[in-house]
Structure 1
Amino acid sequence: MLIISDAHANIHPLKYVIQREKFDKIVFCGDAVDYGPNPGETLDLLKENADVMVSGNHDYAAAYSVDCRCGEENHELSVFTRENITLKKLGKNDISFLRSLPNRMDMEIDGMKFQVMHGSPRDELYGYMYPWSVQDHLRSMLGSPLDPANYVVGHTHYQFLIRYAGNLVINPGSIGQPRDNPMPSYAVYDSSRNSVEFPRFDYDRSKLKEDIRSIISDQEILSGLYRLFSL
């Protein structure tokens, strides 16, 4: 099973991984759009290939014209690109598709049950679950432990695997805009061994830079996007 998250309209590494990896199923943990220059093409590629796909906070923001509630450091870039790229390039069918995405999906692989969401069990769209905060997120709002489950999440752009109370918590990191390492990341789950691998790779970023420059002329916005995409 190929696990991907946070493409953010950067189609180039997403296309590379789908063409390169062998897989029987693709799970996408949200945030197909915003920041990047190719939201429509990214959505099309995911619709063609993903077996399981949930909404991310940026997908939800674009679908319903609400704030993405992302970190303050990147909030201005998020709003700018949503208004000037995402919503201008997506058609009505794209918006309808984003609105159809669930915030969580349950799935089973060879008897192993998983809950797939963008954020965390306590906050499916907006919860930032890092390795050091897993325990807090796997408790109910009243403080009692949630029922044991295997979780597949995204949102942080931070790749990790935690085994908690006998279950897996998998975050593949970000395929389109990693923040823990400049190289894009994803995860591969092998159900026969109940194991997870975290490949990383690099790609030619010149086309992404060209795509962004063809849309954005504001130098301050360009500088911010270059930083986010490690250009």
Structure 2
Amino acid sequence: MGGLTGDPAFAATTFVVIDFEATTPTGYPAQPIEVAALALRYESGAWTTSGRPFSSLIRPPAFAPVTPAVTAQTGLTAEQVNRAPHPAEVLSALDRRFAAGKQYLLVAQHAATEANLIHHQREHCPALARVDLLDTIPLARYLYPGLPNYRLDTLLTHYSIKHPANRHRAYADVEVTAEVFIRLVHAADENAGFSDLAALVKIAGRTAKCNMPAQGELFGPTPVGQRGHSEPI
């Protein structure tokens, strides 16, 4: 492979692919109803998973019920999520997966959505909320400027990745986003513009809101890697 995956900083980073499903109540921020995460490492020329995948339904607050539109998209019903754990329980459990002294980047398709959901839940997941992000959309746009759009379904078709039957469920979307990310890294590795992790971050990096100055915008170029605490992912 090329310079990107040969960069020690790239090898030292755990890439955590993350996806939320959410309900969007009028007058309130989006509220998570499901989350999934899958940690990847690039070691000895191959991708491996790091730790166990994480997936859980999340009970939304009363002001953010699951609507028929959400059920039509995700298949999740109000009865299912109303039996789920509260956000504090789920997100604190995910937060404990981020170990002190390790370098992480979150990976998401349209990372603004995940970044905002995490930021609004930051009291439950302070370590997660300080991990910066990579967005697959600007990376794909840079590498494949001729595609009609950069939606996940379009990228799956471009790479001939099978669309999952339960598309728009968090873990199914995490699995296929991880496949897309691996393909994008392979393409970037063959592109002279991606000499190291810093170059990847320059194109696709997004700064977690908790890492920005108080008056900063939500997104900007991200520094490489952030640290968390407790059990490793």
TM exceeding 0.5? no
Higher relative contact order (CA 8 A, sep 6+): 2
